[in-house]
């Protein structure tokens, strides 16, 4: 399955399969995602969505198949090489935020610069904080923020080095409906502002409805066949 036509894709998977603990999760997953495109991966709990996202992030390895980041064959690299590349190519957002508790919002966003061996770009960090509606909490620590606020800071951190690919695993999973909507809009707006490709894993059909493309992970396959809720049948 191909989304879009130009090459090289920001993210490409070809024939990816994974078995965990003797259980086959998915097989022969192929897709291409271009700059500026957003993809929702929908599926029941336990269907393998997080595992698939980890493969896309180079945090785990496929049993078979290939993973490319803008043409780079990451499945051929060792873990250190992947980690170095990931810093520049991928911004990660998780359900549990994973902010550093002893750092302020601004310091959390500056962290990717330090990990990359760069002086933090303070004006970019402040601009990102503003973009996610958190400029007034630049000096606050995670314990002083709500879940939605922490997730908005985590999104700003993921965007700090302007990565071409954003991977988000259930980013609204811990949030109430209003905060979930706000976080989703922040993520989509931020991605479009820097033309990042976005993959968001979710079990929420509502959250998925905001993205350009939707694929369903079920019965070991990632298919374009939408779940029934996305395609309601109107009775005559
Ligand atoms: N390290 C592991 N070893 C064995 N089984 C695992 C491991 N990680 C996840 N699983 C199992 O693989 C399945 C898919 O997990 P996951 O990718 O987290 O699904 P999802 O994100 O769709 O809920 C689940 O049944 C889970 O229990
Ligand atoms: Mg999961």
The closest ligand to the CA of 42 turns out to be 1
CB 45 less than 6 A from any atom of ligand 1? yes
Q: Which of 16, 22, 25, 59 to mutate to test the pocket of ligand 1 (most atoms within 8 A of CB)?
A: 25
Rounded-to-10 torsion of CA 63, 115, 200, 104: 140
User: In which band, very low, low, confident or very high, does the pLDDT at 234 lie, cut at 50, 70 and 90?
Assistant: very low
- Alpha carbon of 20 to ligand 1 centroid (Å): 7
pLDDT tens for each residue of 134-172: 999 999 999 999 999 999 999 999 999 999 999 999 999
Ligand 2 ion: Cβ-proximal residues, 5 Å cutoff? 50
pLDDT of residue 190: 85
User: In which band, very low, low, confident or very high, does the pLDDT at 5 lie, cut at 50, 70 and 90?
Assistant: low
pLDDT tens for each residue of 61-94: 999 999 999 999 999 999 999 999 999 999 999 9
d(CA 207, CA 182): 11
- Alpha carbon of 99 to ligand 2 centroid (Å): 19
Give the tokens for residue 108. Answer: 């959390």
Domain layout of the chain by residue ranges: 11-226
* Residue 133 exposed, middle or buried by CB count within 10 Å (0-12, 13-18, 19+): middle
Question: Is 60's pLDDT higher than 70?
Answer: yes
Question: Is 226's pLDDT higher than 70?
Answer: no
d(CA 13, CA 161): 23
* Residue 205 exposed, middle or buried by CB count within 10 Å (0-12, 13-18, 19+): middle
Name the CATH architecture for the domain at 11-226. Answer: 3-Layer(aba) Sandwich (3.40)
Q: 199 near 11, Cβ under 8 Å?
A: yes
């Amino acid at each position: 399955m191909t989304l879009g036509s130009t090459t090289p894709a920001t993210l490409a998977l070809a024939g990816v399969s994974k078995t965990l603990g003797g259980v086959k999760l998915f097989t022969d997953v192929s897709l291409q995602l271009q700059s500026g495109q957003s993809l929702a991966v929908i599926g029941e709990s336990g269907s393998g969505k997080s595992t698939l996202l980890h493969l896309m992030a180079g945090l785990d390895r496929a049993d078979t198949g290939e993973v490319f980041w803008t043409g780079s064959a990451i499945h051929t690299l060792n873990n250190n090489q992947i980690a170095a590349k990931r810093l520049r190519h991928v911004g990660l957002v998780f359900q549990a935020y994973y902010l550093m508790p002893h750092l302020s919002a601004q310091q959390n966003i500056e962290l990717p610069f330090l990990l990359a061996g760069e002086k933090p770009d303070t004006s970019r960090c402040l601009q990102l904080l503003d973009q996610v509606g958190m400029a007034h909490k630049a000096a606050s620590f995670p314990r002083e923020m709500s879940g939605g606020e922490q997730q908005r800071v985590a999104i700003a951190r993921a965007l700090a080095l302007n990565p071409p690919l954003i991977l988000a695993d259930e980013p609204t999973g811990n949030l109430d409906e209003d905060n979930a909507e706000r976080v989703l809009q922040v993520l989509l707006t931020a991605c479009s502002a820097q033309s990042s490709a976005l993959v968001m894993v979710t079990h929420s059909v509502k959250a998925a409805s905001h993205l350009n493309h939707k694929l369903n992970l079920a019965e070991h396959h990632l298919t374009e066949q939408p779940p029934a809720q996305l395609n309601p049948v109107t009775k005559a």
